[in-house]
């Protein structure tokens, strides 16, 4: 019996929703699904669900405006497009009419204020968007914040264990066999950082958590300007 030929599905057969159609046009303009996720400040898996699960209706107005900005206004900068999308994104509501919480992966702040979020190289390259809700929630609750970064050893300005680099937490340095090093900045013992101030930094960076952390480390003379963050972890707690 001859093998059955597979019929290609036309665009009419797929019946893609408007969010998927707009995402297609943005991809034709040169943006990846990861770029689109960064623009709408969501996890890349949600963009894939525009196609597989018919999701994305809440982002249609934002995607329309972004597409207009790209095709008509000539705007290409991701943070600028993200700012446009944010102005036209309407949060879902629950049955009672209240604003629904944004579903995120592995991001949870307990009633005591303790929360942790981690991202690795792939997410870091797209701005560590998964960490933004954690930082925003910490800011709303008035929590403190600390973070750990991993970079190449040569990317740090100060030597390992230097009190100038991270006073009071010299023990929180991990050297790895691949010539990278993890260093922690802030802790419950040293007071950490004001999550509200850090959230402002993230907002100023267009929602790019990676850029906000890199800017702080560079501004304070801890890393070299060309340094690349390879791993990022954010921790929160309630101040005493």
Integer Cα distance of 55 and 76 in angstroms? 25
Per-residue confidence in pLDDT tens, the chain, 240 aa: 444 544 444 444 457 899 999 999 999 999 999 889 889 988 788 898 999 989 899 999 999 999 999 988 888 888 889 888 888 887 655 566 555 555 444 446 888 888 888 888 778 887 888 888 899 999 999 999 999 999 999 999 998 777 788 754 545 577 777 889 989 898 888 888 999 999 999 999 989 999 999 999 999 999 999 999 999 999 999 988
Dihedral sign of CA atoms 77, 138, 109, 191 in order: positive
What DSSP designation does 124 have? H
Half-sphere exposure for 178 (CA within 13 Å, toward CB)? 6
Helix (H, G, I), strand (E, B) or coil at 233: strand
Say what angle helices 78-87 and 60-71 make with each other, to 10 degrees.
140
Integer Cα distance of 127 and 34 in angstroms? 10
What DSSP designation does 131 have? G
pTM for the full model? 0.55
Integer Cα distance of 187 and 162 in angstroms? 16
Report domain extents, the chain.
18-87, 109-237
Integer Cα distance of 46 and 92 in angstroms? 14
């Amino acid at each position: 019996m001859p093998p059955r030929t597979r019929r290609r599905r036309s665009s009419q057969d797929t019946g893609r929703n408007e969010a998927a159609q707009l995402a297609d046009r943005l991809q034709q303009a040169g943006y990846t699904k990861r770029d689109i996720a960064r623009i709408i400040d969501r996890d890349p898996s949600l963009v894939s669900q525009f196609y597989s699960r018919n999701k994305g209706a809440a982002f249609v107005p934002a995607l329309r405006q972004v597409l207009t900005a790209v095709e008509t206004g000539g705007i290409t900068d991701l943070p600028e497009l993200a700012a446009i999308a944010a102005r036209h994104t309407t949060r879902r509501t629950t049955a009672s009419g209240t604003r629904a919480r944004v579903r995120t992966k592995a991001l949870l702040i307990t009633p005591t204020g303790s929360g942790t979020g981690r991202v690795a190289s792939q997410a870091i390259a797209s701005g560590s968007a998964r960490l933004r809700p954690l930082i925003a929630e910490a800011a709303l609750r008035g929590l403190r914040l600390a973070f750990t970064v991993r970079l190449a050893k040569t990317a740090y300005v100060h030597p390992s264990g230097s009190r100038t680099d991270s006073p009071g937490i010299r023990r929180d340095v991990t050297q790895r066999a691949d010539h990278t090093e993890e260093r922690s900045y802030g802790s419950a013992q040293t007071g950490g950082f004001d999550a509200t101030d850090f959230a402002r930094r993230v907002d100023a960076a267009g929602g790019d958590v990676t850029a906000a952390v890199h800017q702080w480390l560079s501004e304070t003379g801890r890393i070299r300007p060309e340094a690349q963050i390879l791993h990022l972890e954010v921790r929160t707690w309630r101040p005493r």
